[in-house]
């Protein structure tokens, strides 16, 4: 039987924007059906709540701070290998249809197929725009266009991506393959046919206690981000998110449904993974969009895995998992040796038994935005750790955060200075610092440890912990040499 993998992803889709995951009243019948045939990970987290860094982690198996893609519009390092290259080199036919956002170009990409992927199916957003007339390009970037004339499915990026994905599945059903279908929807400008828009004209995203958060005890950069919303007395009642956004969420579900139908017809034994790159605050904590925070609305993402013969259908896994675990999971399914470069763990044990805990802690980071449509925020270095209950965020240039999601699921009470939480805070902090050393974080140093609330922090010294981490990429380059001996290193992470 051929080894076949289909990864489907969306852009800017919160974990609770699936009908099966939240009470909001949004319809996602096709993804709900997939969840009923698979395992849904209800505590899944992106590696960074911005498009490119999130994708950089997913498609390399390494952290954004490891691979160079820690901000938008910054290309991966030349020596960093994507899943397309790695699977291609193991004999897989690899196709990526849809948004890429990893070539260092603008939002739409450079229109050039990267190494490892089949150019016949490559379809980043630049290639889509190049199919359109100048007038159509302008219309494709205006949300108002959906109210000026009916948008046909054929006009949308989502529909054109789905068509190419179905063609690939029909033509290559007997091959080992990795197919990625990467939609831009429901990310703005949110174009979809009118029948979807009609259903959401009077829809309101449910208000929660998070909409009442004044950010009084939160980091300063979040208050700057919120801006005038801090003084808006009608914030809770306002419709956060647009009708077009939620309509496009249902529209992309329909497009995904057409691809899943093709998978069932042509590749019924395929591993199917569905996720999104990040979420959206939707007005919670007075914030709109995504950025330097660890609130669930932004960094918690949907994740469904259907692994024939392994997953227990219709189950929900409650332990925290991460996008960093996807690459090892795909390699595990394909029966391939795990590259030393990968930083995550295979989710196979949790797919087989959702009660199994794969990760003691998951980590989240942030660097900055820096892209043509995201010129704001500046440098906001953040590292965070979450163990399933406690969530710690160290904002290097601002205040820090600690939330107990068991007692405060809406993350309204910052307990960073609470002495009763000191033990849990210190435990998570130690794990975060160890993770930074173990994953070649170029920003690590004593400033991450010496926080105002960490009374037992080590003194500031120039060498700090004295730890080093050399790159491991033995499939593609020689073993790194130890600086002190000139001989091949025997341990990548070690004391110097």
pLDDT, one tens digit per residue, over 12-22 is 999 999 999 98
Comparing 4-8, 269-273, 465-469, which segment has the lowest mean pLDDT? 465-469
Catalytic choice (65, 93, 96, 101): 101
Which residue among the candidates 20, 47, 51, 192 is catalytic per the annotation?
Answer: 51
Residue 36 has phi, psi (to 5 degrees) of -70, -15
**Pair 1, 278: CB distance under 8 Å:** no
* Percent of the chain whose predicted confidence (pLDDT) is above 70: 99
pLDDT band at 373 (very low <50, low <70, confident <90, very high): low
ω before 368 within 30° of 0 (cis)? Answer: no
pLDDT for 376 equals: 78
Q: Is 101 a catalytic residue?
A: yes
Q: Is 47 a catalytic residue?
A: no
pLDDT, tens digit (0-9, with 9 covering 90-100), for 253-267? 999 999 999 999 999
User: Mean pLDDT, to the nearest integer, of 467-488?
Assistant: 91
3-state DSSP percent of the chain in helix, strand and coil, to 5? 30, 15, 55
Q: Fill in the DSSP letter of residue 77.
A: P
Q: Is 288 exposed, middle or buried (0-12, 13-18, 19+ CB in 10 A)?
A: middle
- State mean pLDDT over 116-127: 97
Domains of the chain: 4-366 (3.40.720.10), 407-465 (no CATH)
pLDDT of 232-254, one tens digit each?
Answer: 887 877 767 889 999 999 999 99
Note the pTM of the prediction, 2 decimals.
0.97
pLDDT of residue 17: 95
CB of 31 closer than 8 Å to CB of 260: no
pLDDT at 22: 80
> What percent of the chain is predicted at pLDDT more than 90?
86
Greater confidence (153 vs 312) lies with: 153
**DSSP character at residue 172:** -
């Amino acid at each position: 039987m051929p080894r076949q993998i289909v990864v489907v992803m969306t852009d800017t889709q919160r974990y609770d924007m699936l009908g099966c995951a939240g009470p909001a009243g949004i319809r996602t019948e096709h993804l709900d059906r997939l969840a009923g045939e698979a395992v849904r990970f209800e505590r899944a987290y992106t590696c960074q709540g911005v498009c490119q860094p999130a994708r950089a982690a997913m498609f390399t198996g390494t952290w954004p701070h490891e691979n160079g893609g820690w901000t938008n519009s910054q290309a991966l390092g030349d020596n960093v290998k994507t899943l397309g290259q790695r699977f291609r080199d193991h004999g897989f036919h690899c196709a990526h249809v849809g948004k890429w956002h990893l070539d260092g170009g603008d939002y739409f990409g450079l229109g050039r197929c990267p190494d490892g992927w089949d150019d016949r199916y490559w379809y980043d957003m630049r290639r889509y725009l190049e199919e359109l007339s100048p007038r159509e390009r302008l219309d494709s970037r205006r949300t108002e266009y959906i109210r000026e004339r009916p948008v046909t499915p054929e006009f949308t990026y989502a529909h054109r991506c789905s068509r190419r994905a179905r063609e690939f599945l029909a033509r290559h059903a007997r091959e080992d393959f990795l197919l990625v279908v990467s939609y831009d929807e429901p990310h703005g400008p949110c174009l979809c046919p009118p029948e979807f828009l009609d259903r959401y004209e009077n829809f309101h995203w449910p208000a929660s206690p998070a909409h009442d958060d004044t950010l009084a005890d939160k980091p300063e950069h979040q208050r700057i981000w919120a801006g005038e919303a801090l003084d808006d007395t009608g914030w809770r009642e306002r419709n956060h998110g647009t009708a077009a956004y939620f309509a496009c969420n249902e529209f992309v579900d329909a497009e995904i449904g057409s691809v899943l139908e093709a998978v069932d017809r042509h590749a019924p034994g395929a591993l199917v993974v569905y996720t999104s790159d990040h979420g959206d605050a939707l007005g919670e904590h007075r914030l709109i969009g995504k950025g330097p925070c660890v609130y669930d609305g932004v960094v918690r993402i949907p994740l469904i895995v259907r692994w024939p013969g392994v997953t227990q259908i219709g189950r929900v896994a409650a332990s925290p998992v991460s996008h960093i675990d996807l690459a090892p999971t795909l390699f595990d399914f394909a029966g391939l040796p795990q590259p030393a470069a990968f930083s995550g763990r295979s989710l196979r044990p949790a797919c087989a038994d959702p009660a199994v805990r794969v990760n003691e802690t998951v980590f989240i980071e942030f660097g900055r935005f820096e892209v043509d449509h995201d010129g704001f925020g500046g440098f906001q270095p953040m590292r965070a750790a979450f163990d399933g209950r406690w969530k710690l965020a160290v904002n290097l240039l601002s205040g820090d955060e600690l939330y107990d999601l068991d007692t405060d699921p809406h993350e309204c009470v910052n307990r960073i200075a609470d002495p009763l939480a000191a033990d849990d805070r210190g435990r998570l902090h130690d794990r975060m610092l160890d993770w930074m050393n173990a994953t070649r974080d170029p920003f690590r140093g004593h400033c991450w440890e010496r926080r105002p609330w960490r009374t037992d922090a080590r003194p500031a010294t120039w060498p700090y912990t004295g730890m080093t981490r050399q790159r491991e990429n033995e499939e593609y380059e020689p073993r790194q040499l130890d600086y002190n001996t000139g001989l091949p290193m025997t341990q990548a992470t070690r004391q110097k």
